[in-house]
Structure 1
Amino acid sequence: MSATAHTPSPRAAVRPPRAGRSNGQWKVDGPEPLNANEVFKAESDPLAVRERIERVYAREGFDSIPSDDLRGRLRWWGLYTQRKPGIDGGRTATLEPHELEDRYFMLRVRIDGGALTTRQLRTIAGVSEDFARGTADLTDRQNIQLHWVRVEDVPEIWRRLEAVGLSTTEACGDVPRVILGSPVAGVARDELIDPTPVIEEIQSRFVGDPSLANLPRKFKSAITGHPSLDVVHEINDIAFVAVRHPDLGVGYDLWVGGALSTAPRLGERLGAFVAPERAADVWHGVVRIFRDYGYRRLRNKARLKFLLADWGVERFRTVLEQEYLGYALPDGPAAPVPPTPGDHLGVHRQKDGQYYIGFSPVVGRVSGPQLRQVADLAEARGSHRVRLTPHQKLLVLDVPPRRARGLITAMAKIGLAAEPGAWQRRAIACTGIEYCKLAIVETKRTAATAIATLEERLGDLDRLTPLSLHVNGCPNSCARIQTADIGLKGQIITDDAGRQAPGFQVHLGGGLAGEGTAGGGLGRTVRGLKVAADDVAGYVERVVRRFDADHADGETFAQWAHRADEEALR
């Protein structure tokens, strides 16, 4: 691969004149707001709502919060109203937001790169215990979510978090969200490069920057220096994947335009090699393309993936280089597809001779007291660093070899397994109807019950490669259903007796390179295939046993699922 710079085609830079209705692209159509979301962002800097929270809402209570702040700008500080208990999933799409929401909030703590000290983890635990009824969920974005938060308590929560270097700044909203980073950054013996300096530079320069606080919609980032490709890079708006260039050394392969939800699209390589010292500037260029050219007229078309689909890779790279960077990037190679999943569970030796150990809660559900115990157990064995993963898992770093087994035993006693069963290891689930206003079905308990049953029923099939099970409460795919071996999308179904009941649409045969699926891809949806919520384990057992009986030698579940007859998948 040559180290010469990319030479864009002159045609790629040409923009045809706008014809017809405006798409709300600022650099093409001008900044006139075209919907209610764009109006409230234009009327007041969403980041400025913090002062109102501290001076007004925390003092006067929930009823003092106007709608545009309550259901809009508060998201810029990690706050969403949570679902009112007792509202069934069949009413999710029929009730107005004020009818669905409770007087409490979900609060998302932003944890870039998933990196925490034990002091920070203990602080989050204290916030959970004092202000969130002990709740805590590890998300597949390396955040921690708390529930039952009152607006009156938010200023004190911020004070505690910020005292230890944490924040909720832009944890939600139409902004650059948390930056996914390799959970083993800086410690893994086989990493190509430590991405921590790039994450820290982006965070310090751009998080909270008012010029980037009004994007068309959310903007998701990921960066890894590890060959396991452990940050689900294909489904982020921008991703940097470490590669070794034959002439330029180690840097990053640049990906853009990935996202799931109701119109899933895997990201694409721009074919550009990014030197580590230029990564933050390239990130800034891509996010500004999204700000300036992203579609704002319709919310369901306002992600970067739609712009990339219309422009194509060549034009996107040309605009990035010519309008935003001022220089051409060299061409570069793609990263090899890893042979095994990059979840980092179990015991691994670090480059300094210590160990990092990966632990699995069941589908990310933990608690404040449990997080406090993790901090205590880690410190008792000489560790002061914890990492969260994009798979709802948790790592303890810097464990002395002689203390590894003792930590594994102690963590197992509080429900965190370093050697989980195959189904627990590769399962994730979104928040679900328990707290989420968008959800239609319950997810966490459904997934946990199915996992326990499958571990028992399918023990005779340990010879099979472990399969991933992702459970989502609505179509928005927070749990990445289209990239799982078996992905379940919550919906109301009609059961055999003709009654409405919670259930799932089934996606089969998806996967990402860093999750052990060669090449990656989106799953297959089988027409009319729906599963009742109380039959999840039964359905999974049936389809796995059919795969075991039917698949060819060396054929993966994904390959089989994409070529099998529909009847075999029911």
Structure 2
Amino acid sequence: MATPQQSDSAAPRRKASRHRGEGQWAVGHRTPLNGNEQFKKDDDGLNVRTRIETIYSRRGFDSIDPNDLRGRMRWWGLYTQRKPGIDGGKTAILEPEELDDKFFMLRVRIDGGRLTAQQLRVIGEVSQEYARGTADVTDRQNIQLHWIRIEDVPAIWEKLEAVGLSTTEACGDCPRVIIGSPVAGIAADEIIDGTPAVDEIHERYIGSKEFSNLPRKFKTAISGSPVQDVVHEINDIAFVGVEHPEHGPGFDLWVGGGLSTNPRLAERLGTWVPLAEVPDVWAGVVGIFRDYGYRRLRTRARLKFLMADWGPEKFRRILQDEYLGRELLDGPPPAEPRSRWRDHIGVHRQQDGNFYVGFAPRVGRVDGATLAKIADLAAAHGSDRLRTTVEQKMIVLDVAEDQVDSLVSGLESLDFQVRPSPFRRGTMACTGIEFCKLAIVETKARGAALIDELERRMPEFEEPVTINLNGCPNACARIQTADIGLKGQLVLDGDGNQVEGFQVHLGGSLGLQAGFGRKVRGLKVTADELPDYVERVLTRFQEEREQDERFAAWAARASAEALS
């Protein structure tokens, strides 16, 4: 349930002073303590759609109220993109209106990564007609378009919604896309299919004003896959498939994960949640965040900070006593993931005897025309279902055995590999300075070029390795949890010139022994030196590793010299 219930065992609510408090609604702090809280109080973010349709799309960019432009429009998936030609050294110096271009990024919300061939084709058509052909598959299963004009937004919504897609709460201080196993309901080894819970949460709560004013964004993951394919360790809430010895398949509940500049792994509450109860438990956790979450400082407004202060025992008690009104069952932790790769790339048999085929774009970058071709290719091979993944990859489902080879050949003709090198398979990149107002360096083209260069230099390298490039410290590309995490910043080259480069994090991982990467003191590389550096450190890994040792384990024990 979303509203608190009083309980004799609930923690007493102490009303702190406005100056000492964190802006928590549940302890009486309703006065907005920053500009974001003020504009949310003034008008709900969901209400901006009417103004977009009736005013802004007709009068143009210059008619948009600033609190809508850089605030409420996010509730409908719209961010202003970076004005071209502004270098990374000015990112933190210029005012928002100086960084804003008169175009938008538009994020298409794709819960569970689930797409029909028709839906993918329509996204491709929208990209070509309204977004200069741009399209990026994100590491949260969405697809992002760029160069969107405000005048075109209503027409885009009409096209997307006609095929069951939306941009509702794709951004903003609200429940973002629900990421789910891209092979939910079809994988032969699945513990439990979380799709009904994803659908019910979406139907009951997405676009509802019950949760449209949270302290900050809220990220959800639900998967019953034994390979644990939704990076549950770094979501605000995650339901992880487990087998209870008495009650059968259900979910283990994790709360309080997140990255950015203060990374924190989620913690287990030690509960077993049956599929039918997932939506109510989800709503209870979101209700805690809404009511007890910190609203004073934006930098402390994520659920991970509340979890750090409360701990899992108190969090579970408040959830049970005030929001659910009942005890949750204790449950077992999930088993170790069965695969070093958690992305479903390759050809795999489904429960029904058909196959699914996972393939790898370079760093999630595609284009509208190619998306339409993928949709057509899937349909020509008898499939009407495709999936996006949290690794910026894609999957075609329901392929008959006698169609697999032809589909693989068709994908390869589009430069998508079903049997990619570890470099193409394991490299991700955020949007970067090309479009993002927070970025300091370029990432997408650099990541794609790095893949090509490493494939040329190290064709025999086969070990699973992840290389994540981020354009700023905010970790949209999960740099702290990569084998090689690259945080964009300006560095000095050998001649003392300030150039684009990266601070290096080494040995992060999720799944097996999850943890954050190691920062070697002073270890920074220029963008031009990046291929040389990565080749050097991977070669050293190959020379020094023990039998079957993972890169993360080697990086944790290697000398600073070996990592330089």
TM-score, normalized by length of structure 1? 0.96
Match of 1:486 in 2: 484
- Residue 460 of structure 1 and its aligned partner are, at CA, apart by 3.4
Match of 2:344 in 1: 344
Counterpart residue identity of residue 248, structure 1: H
Match of 1:420 in 2: 420
Deviation digits for residues 71-95 of structure 1 (CA, Å, limit 9, x no counterpart): 0000000000001111111111111
Counterpart residue identity of residue 345, structure 2: L
Match of 2:546 in 1: 552
Counterpart residue identity of residue 550, structure 1: E
Secondary structure of the structure 2 residue equivalent to 1:166: coil
Return the alpha-carbon distance in structure 2 between the equivalents of residues 350 and 290 of structure 1: 38
Please identify, of 311-320 and 408-417, the stretch whose mean Cα deviation from structure 2 is larger: 408-417
Match of 2:3 in 1: none
| 2:248 is equivalent to residue 272 of structure 1 | no
| 2:101 is equivalent to residue 102 of structure 1 | yes
Does structure 1 retain, via aligned residues, the 8 Å contact 2:358–2:418? yes
Return the alpha-carbon distance in structure 1 between the equivalents of residues 92 and 29 of structure 2: 33
Return the alpha-carbon distance in structure 2 between the equivalents of residues 281 and 219 of structure 1: 16
**1:477 corresponds to which of 475, 478, 483:** 475
Return the alpha-carbon distance in structure 1 between the equivalents of residues 14 and 546 of structure 2: 50
Does structure 2 retain, via aligned residues, the 8 Å contact 1:337–1:519? no
Counterpart residue identity of residue 383, structure 1: S
Alignment RMSD (CA, Å): 1.3
Match of 1:87 in 2: 86
Secondary structure of the structure 2 residue equivalent to 1:460: coil
Deviation beyond 3 Å, 4+ runs, structure 1: 10-20
Match of 2:165 in 1: 166
| 2:530 is equivalent to residue 539 of structure 1 | no
Return the alpha-carbon distance in structure 2 between the equivalents of residues 279 and 79 of structure 1: 29
1:165-564 matches, cutoff 5 A: 165-340=164-339, 341-462=341-462, 465-513=463-511, 518-564=512-558
Secondary structure of the structure 1 residue equivalent to 2:477: coil
Return the alpha-carbon distance in structure 2 between the equivalents of residues 415 and 214 of structure 1: 42
- Residue 14 of structure 1 and its aligned partner are, at CA, apart by 5.2
- Residue 18 of structure 1 and its aligned partner are, at CA, apart by 3.4
The size of the alignment, in residue pairs, is: 556
Counterpart residue identity of residue 65, structure 2: P
Please identify, of 452-461 and 102-111, the stretch whose mean Cα deviation from structure 2 is larger: 452-461
Does structure 2 retain, via aligned residues, the 8 Å contact 1:23–1:29? no
Secondary structure of the structure 2 residue equivalent to 1:338: coil
Secondary structure of the structure 1 residue equivalent to 2:330: coil
Q: Percent sequence identity over matched residues?
A: 61
Counterpart residue identity of residue 447, structure 1: G
- Residue 11 of structure 1 and its aligned partner are, at CA, apart by 8.6
Match of 1:569 in 2: 563
Counterpart residue identity of residue 510, structure 1: G
Return the alpha-carbon distance in structure 2 between the equivalents of residues 18 and 83 of structure 1: 40
Return the alpha-carbon distance in structure 2 between the equivalents of residues 165 and 353 of structure 1: 28
Return the alpha-carbon distance in structure 1 between the equivalents of residues 40 and 461 of structure 2: 53
Does structure 2 retain, via aligned residues, the 8 Å contact 1:355–1:400? yes
Does structure 2 retain, via aligned residues, the 8 Å contact 1:12–1:315? no
Return the alpha-carbon distance in structure 2 between the equivalents of residues 351 and 54 of structure 1: 45
TM-score, normalized by length of structure 2? 0.97
Return the alpha-carbon distance in structure 1 between the equivalents of residues 191 and 15 of structure 2: 44
Return the alpha-carbon distance in structure 2 between the equivalents of residues 100 and 107 of structure 1: 17
Counterpart residue identity of residue 298, structure 1: L
- Residue 253 of structure 1 and its aligned partner are, at CA, apart by 0.1
Secondary structure of the structure 1 residue equivalent to 2:329: coil
- Residue 15 of structure 1 and its aligned partner are, at CA, apart by 5.6
Return the alpha-carbon distance in structure 2 between the equivalents of residues 93 and 317 of structure 1: 39
Return the alpha-carbon distance in structure 2 between the equivalents of residues 359 and 50 of structure 1: 36
Match of 1:46 in 2: 45
Counterpart residue identity of residue 227, structure 1: P
Does structure 2 retain, via aligned residues, the 8 Å contact 1:136–1:367? yes
Return the alpha-carbon distance in structure 2 between the equivalents of residues 209 and 35 of structure 1: 24
Return the alpha-carbon distance in structure 1 between the equivalents of residues 298 and 101 of structure 2: 24
Counterpart residue identity of residue 385, structure 1: R
Secondary structure of the structure 1 residue equivalent to 2:395: strand
Return the alpha-carbon distance in structure 1 between the equivalents of residues 342 and 117 of structure 2: 23
Return the alpha-carbon distance in structure 1 between the equivalents of residues 46 and 271 of structure 2: 34
Match of 1:7 in 2: none
Does structure 2 retain, via aligned residues, the 8 Å contact 1:54–1:155? yes
Match of 1:4 in 2: none
Secondary structure of the structure 2 residue equivalent to 1:343: coil
Return the alpha-carbon distance in structure 2 between the equivalents of residues 546 and 410 of structure 1: 37
Return the alpha-carbon distance in structure 2 between the equivalents of residues 14 and 421 of structure 1: 56
Please identify, of 409-418 and 235-244, the stretch whose mean Cα deviation from structure 2 is larger: 409-418
Does structure 2 retain, via aligned residues, the 8 Å contact 1:12–1:314? no
Does structure 2 retain, via aligned residues, the 8 Å contact 1:22–1:29? no
- Residue 550 of structure 1 and its aligned partner are, at CA, apart by 2.0
Counterpart residue identity of residue 507, structure 1: H
- Residue 21 of structure 1 and its aligned partner are, at CA, apart by 0.9
Secondary structure of the structure 1 residue equivalent to 2:561: helix
Closer, same or farther: CA 14–563 of 1 in aligned 2, 3 Å: farther
- Residue 29 of structure 1 and its aligned partner are, at CA, apart by 3.6
Return the alpha-carbon distance in structure 2 between the equivalents of residues 126 and 190 of structure 1: 36
- Residue 552 of structure 1 and its aligned partner are, at CA, apart by 2.7
- Residue 536 of structure 1 and its aligned partner are, at CA, apart by 1.2
Match of 1:144 in 2: 143
Does structure 2 retain, via aligned residues, the 8 Å contact 1:226–1:242? yes
Does structure 2 retain, via aligned residues, the 8 Å contact 1:427–1:468? yes
Counterpart residue identity of residue 520, structure 1: A
- Residue 37 of structure 1 and its aligned partner are, at CA, apart by 0.4
Deviation digits for residues 430-488 of structure 1 (CA, Å, limit 9, x no counterpart): 000011010000001111111111112122333xx221000000000000000000000
- Residue 551 of structure 1 and its aligned partner are, at CA, apart by 2.4
Does structure 2 retain, via aligned residues, the 8 Å contact 1:242–1:253? yes
Return the alpha-carbon distance in structure 2 between the equivalents of residues 415 and 564 of structure 1: 36
